[in-house]
Amino acid sequence: MKKSPLQIARQSYQPKMPAALLGQVVLREGQATQSVADQEEIKALFPNTYGMPVITLDAAINGRPNTTPVNVGVILSGGQAPGGHNVICGLFDGLKKINPKNKLYGFLGGPSGLVEGRYQELTADIIDEYRNTGGFDIIGSGRTKLEEEWQFDKGIEVCKQLGVNAIVIIGGDDSNTNACVLAEYYLQKNTGIQVIGCPKTIDGDLKNEMIETSFGFDTACKVYSELVGNIQRDANSAKKYWHFIRLMGRSASHIALECALQSQPNICIISEEVEANNMTLQDIVNQIAEVVAARAAAGQNFGTVLIPEGLIEFIPAMRRLIQELNDLLADNEEFVAMEGDDAKREYIKTMLTPMSCELYRSLPKAIAKQLTMDRDPHGNVQVSLIETEKLLIEMVGKKLAQMKGAGTYVGKFATQHHFFGYEGRCAIPSNFDADYCYSLGQTATQLIVAGKSGYMAVVRNLTAPAAEWIAGGVPITMMMNMEKRNGKMKPVIQKALVDLNGKPFKYLAEHRKDWASANSKYVYPGPVQYYGPTEVCDQPTRTLLLENA
């Protein structure tokens, strides 16, 4: 396979690691833990994995290498995130360092690889090809949910055939919740198979007191911020377009917020604030139109608007409409069999409550159709498919036309729309993600050889130099609470939305008026840098810097 000069150079990049992981390692156990909420229910559901202590990995003075060989299986779950390959490389190197007879298997195509017995042994020649690369293509990923007993039992069969003693699941909040359910089941059945999770997602919503950030968020945000910065420089040069830029991130607005902190756009909408203020779609449109008009009055008929992917679900009336559509379309064979968009549209109109029906009718047809497209495996609308940026352009255009009629707006409103998501998910990992992921892989190895199960590998103190990072394990039950999913109460890891009292949002709130003004305050972050001064190459995200300040 032909490689770019950067790809070739990155193959020999040696990720930085916490000093404690460089030699022999010893585990230090803290106090017993409890779940963040609903302690009694979670304890009853996880009798074997509840209450375990937080683990810290320290450098051992007289460590002894583990001599019993172990076989480990690794799974990539969900959407791609930069650095996934390095978790696997760290895992591989860690295992081989402890005992060259240790083996690593990759389950292919995500969690279904475990259930269907599709795997490949990962050997040094394979691993070397993927060091410090983006993507999940080493073994592929998938969105199959591991949650049913028959799947767990198939997993036991496959692991027994391969002699696999431990499974590492690299995934987001749902995948790690399922990792814990699997760990508990395997302990209950006395299978001897351990399960360890790793915090992955570009969305940045798998974080809490114990997890500072999920991997991939850093690189993805840097890639999007570069693109936003480039667009801003173009806007500031040509001075003729308003750019509406939607950013991935599912429900949470962490990515939009981070990109705003890096690039200082004229407007950045935060879904969590929209919900907190009970705003309607029209309120958002009015706010944008006001900024457009104010800048136009100063002769600036251009600007940038950042829109989080999940916005639509945070507008209360929209949420109600989506909920009604979710219920209506679940297993609805009649709807699936219907031919033609118009017939489907008419059918939906007859089934909605009057309020939702009015909203549905008011939406541009394309957006209304996007709201009825296939749901994800969790039964949720796929927000990445809803072109909110186009919806807002259309509605802001209408509002400005009204304002023009009323004499409150003079200017031109020419627009461009963008959606950044897939562009960043498989980027070559930044130094931060390359180092962080490799360290997570090495940490997972240590938890495995110590016989732990039901833990997530964590690395903390991430705004310090890598040598000072603190590696360890956190019981997954510690991060859980009970939430309603598909109509039933289930134990899940709490998803972290943008905290409106947190420092990153407060920074935006303090500065956004200035950024919106006619004297734009654009910052042009430029591309991710892999070689050069540490203040250019090793900076964590602004979110992490503000949160850890």
The question of whether 435 is a catalytic residue gets the answer no
What's 332's DSSP letter? Answer: -
Nearer to ligand FBP, 249 or 525 (CB): 249
Q: Containing H/E element for 389?
A: helix 388-405
Would you put residue 67 in left (φ > 0), alpha (ψ -120 to 50) or beta? alpha
What dihedral angle (degrees, nearest 10) is formed by the CA atoms of 484, 488, 490, 493? -30
Which of 93, 173, 174, 203 is flagged as catalytic? 203
Closest separation between CB of residue 419 and ligand FBP, Å? 11
Spell out the alpha helix ranges (H) of 280-381. 281-297, 311-314, 316-329, 333-337, 341-351, 354-362, 365-370
Q: Round to whole Å and give the CA distance between 98 and 121.
A: 18
Nearer to ligand FBP, 248 or 352 (CB): 248
Closest separation between CB of residue 200 and ligand FBP, Å? 6
Nearer to ligand FBP, 250 or 390 (CB): 250
How long, in residues, is the chain? 549
Closest separation between CB of residue 428 and ligand FBP, Å? 17
CB 110 within 8 A of CB 71: no
Spell out the alpha helix ranges (H) of 12-143. 39-45, 84-98, 112-115, 124-130
Nearer to ligand FBP, 142 or 472 (CB): 142
CB 266 within 8 A of CB 303: yes
| The pair of three-digit structure tokens given for residue 127, joined into one six-digit string | 């691993």
3-state secondary structure of 375: strand
Q: Containing H/E element for 4?
A: none
Closest separation between CB of residue 295 and ligand FBP, Å? 30
Nearer to ligand FBP, 103 or 250 (CB): 250
CB 169 within 8 A of CB 106: no
Nearer to ligand FBP, 196 or 248 (CB): 248
CB 242 within 8 A of CB 356: no
Closest separation between CB of residue 381 and ligand FBP, Å? 10
Nearer to ligand FBP, 311 or 449 (CB): 311
Nearer to ligand FBP, 309 or 433 (CB): 309
Closest separation between CB of residue 422 and ligand FBP, Å? 7
Closest separation between CB of residue 214 and ligand FBP, Å? 8
Q: What angle do CA 145, 148, 152 make, to 5 degrees?
A: 95
| The pair of three-digit structure tokens given for residue 425, joined into one six-digit string | 């998910």
Give CA 416 to chain center in angstroms: 26
Provide the binding-site residues for ligand FBP, judged by CB under 6 A: 78-79, 81, 172, 201-203, 248-250, 309, 383-384, 421, 425
User: What's the count of helices (H) and strands (E) in the chain, helices before strands?
Assistant: 23, 16
Q: Round to whole Å and give the CA distance between 492 and 177.
A: 6
Closest separation between CB of residue 250 and ligand FBP, Å? 4
> Bridge-partner residues for 305, per DSSP?
244, 267
As annotated, the active-site residues are 203
